[in-house]
Amino acid sequence: SPVLDVAAIRADFPILSRQVHGRPLVYLDNAATSQTPRQVIEAFDAYYSGYNANIHRGLHTLADEATAAFEGTRETVRGFLNAAEHREIIFTRGTTEAINLVVNSWGRANLGPGDEVLISRLEHHSNIVPWQLLAAELGFTIKVIPVDERGVLDLDAYRALLGERTRLVAVNHVSNAFGTVNPVKEMAALAHAHGALILVDGAQATPHQEVDVRDIDADFYAFSGHKVYGPTGVGVLYGKAALLEAMPPWQGGGEMIRTVSFEAGTTFAEIPHKFEAGTPAIAEVIALGEALRWVAGVGLSAIGAWEERLLQHATAAVSRIDGLRILGTAPGKAGVLSFVVDGAHSQDIGLLIDQLGVAIRTGHHCAQPLLAQFGVDATCRASFAAYNTLEEIDTFAEALTRVIGMVR
């Protein structure tokens, strides 16, 4: 199996040497946001110290350098997703904005009464609420793809839900709440067989596995920089060029126009610029490019294999705790361990374990419809990244045992 040099990886992350409440930080909240290697931090310094300028419009050296770095990142992202063309890569603020772009541009132009959008019960609120907002306005119907007791999507039910009024399927590649990896390639083929499009929320997949949007045959694919060792404030929407070209602009402003006239009306720029109104997060985009280079240097298959090892170790360790129930037991799931404990509130566990230097997440993980099915409104969630160690998992399991003993 591929070996990861975890010590060398950790040396790239300055934050990992800090202490929390007098103890070494054990950071297990990677599904919420990953930590940032120095290469990414240094990209900000290089930009602001060396070539800070607005892009595209300039005719001076700094503007040219910033534009080259920004557009170079578009090509890096294209390669990262194996998209066919760099104009299929649109920079957004994150996954949430990428989904809102599809909803408000494609959705507004293509959905009406009688139309159906299928959304899985595993979705993050960001792939539910934008659709609900538009459905309230346009009167189309949202149908829910069910999950079983393991947190696995029911593909037979999915097949049965697909029909001639299905226009789009919205599904995540990997669930942030349970770690379930969904068969998005198979789901895309089924959607296409019914003339429907598929939007894949890749926020939790891109940090853990290689993604090939052409192999999946995704129509839209979204991810966030801050979950893949990059900065906050930047994300990506991939869309097939023909779809993006046919879609109306969403936000209006500078950068996205060709000509503006009060008399003759306004004409729009070609993709991707048609969907990038205003000055983007230039430094963040450039730093995202560094993050993707860092990830490629380590290798996503090695990262994924290491996280699986961490997950197995953690699962075995917490399984010894009396009254602990793991939610989400899908085969082959990603490095996410969600659990509840009899007689101990998740929030209490989260607060107390922080006192021991361990960062986990507690709450509904922006997946209330999923948690409701399991009869809980919150879980504790430990989620893993390339820099986590087996020793950290042991520290976490010991701290968890201690904390549960305190609150019970």
Q: How far apart are CA 274 and CA 285, in angstroms?
A: 17
Residue 15, Cα to own-chain centre: how many angstroms?
22
Helix (H, G, I), strand (E, B) or coil at 64: helix
Distance CA 341, CA 345 (A): 7
**Has 366 been annotated as catalytic?**
yes
SS3 of 153, please? strand
CB of 199 to ligand PMP, least distance (A): 11
Nearer to ligand PMP, 222 or 244 (CB): 222
Choices 18-26, 92-100, 151-159, 326-334 (CB under 6 A): range interacting with ligand PMP: 92-100
Q: Which is nearer to ligand PMP, 96 or 346 (CB)?
A: 96
Is residue 362 at the binding interface for ligand PMP, with CB under 6 A as the rule? no
Q: Does 284 bind ligand PMP (CB under 6 A)?
A: no
Could you tell me if 291 and 302 are in contact, meaning their C-beta atoms sit under 8 angstroms apart? no
Q: Which of residues 330-359 bind ligand PMP (CB under 6 A)?
A: none
Helices (H), 270-299: 282-298
Q: Which of 30, 73, 96, 120 binds ligand PMP (CB under 6 A)?
A: 96
Round to whole Å and give the CA distance between 289 and 70.
Answer: 9
Coil, strand or helix at 267 = strand
CB of 260 to ligand PMP, least distance (A): 30
Q: How far is CA 309 from CA 33, 207, 229, in A?
A: 20, 16, 20
Total residues contacting ligand PMP by CB under 6 A comes to: 12
254 and 261 Cβ atoms separated by less than 8 Å = no
Please report how close the Cβ of residue 370 comes to ligand PMP at its closest, in angstroms: 11
The secondary structure of the chain in percent helix, strand, coil, rounded to multiples of 5, reads 45, 20, 40
Rule CB under 6 A: say whether 236 interacts with ligand PMP: no
CB nearer to ligand PMP: pick between 96 and 338 = 96
DSSP code per residue over 292-346: HHHHHHH-HHHHHHHHHHHHHHHHHHHHTSTTEEEE---TT--SEEEEEETTB-H
- Residue from 95, 120, 180, 209 that binds ligand PMP (CB under 6 A)? 95
Residues 211-230 that bind ligand PMP (CB under 6 A): 224
**CA dist., res. 234 & res. 254, Å (int):** 18
Nearer to ligand PMP, 207 or 249 (CB): 207
Question: What's at 5, amino acid-wise?
Answer: D
- Minimum Å distance from CB 102 to ligand PMP? 13
Tell me if 126 contacts ligand PMP by CB under 6 A. Answer: yes
Which listed range, 88-96, 189-197, 236-244, 342-350, lies at the site for ligand PMP (CB under 6 A)?
A: 88-96
Shortest distance (Å) from residue 361 CB to ligand PMP: 9
The backbone torsions φ and ψ at residue 346, rounded to the nearest 5 degrees and listed phi first, read -55, -40
Site string for ligand PMP, 175-194 (x = CB under 6 A): -x------------------
Residue from the set 74, 124, 274, 313 that interacts with ligand PMP by CB under 6 A = 124
CA separation for the pair 406, 408 (Å, rounded): 6
Q: How far is the CB of 295 from ligand PMP (least distance, A)?
A: 17
Q: How far apart are CA 297 and CA 308, in angstroms?
A: 19
Give me the least distance between CB of 124 and ligand PMP, in Å please. Answer: 4
Of 115 and 219, nearer to ligand PMP (C-beta) is 219
36 touches ligand PMP by CB under 6 A: no
CB of 99 to ligand PMP, least distance (A): 7
Is 172 near ligand PMP (CB under 6 A)?
Answer: yes
Q: Is 204 in the site for ligand PMP (CB under 6 A)?
A: yes
For ligand PMP, the closer CB: 95 or 362: 95
Token readout for 392 is: 């950290």
Q: Please give the distance of CA 366 from its chain centroid, rounded to a whole number.
A: 13
94 belongs to the binding site for ligand PMP (CB under 6 A)? yes
Phi, psi of 236 (to 5 degrees): -135, 140
Q: Are 43 and 290 in contact (CB under 8 A)?
A: yes
Does residue 318 interact with ligand PMP by CB under 6 A? Answer: no
Nearest Cα to Cα of residue 389 among 297, 309, 294, 298: 309
The active-site residue out of 366, 393, 399, 403 is 366
Q: Which residues are catalytic?
A: 366
Q: Enumerate binding residues for ligand PMP (CB under 6 A).
A: 94-96, 124, 126, 172, 176, 201, 203-204, 224, 366
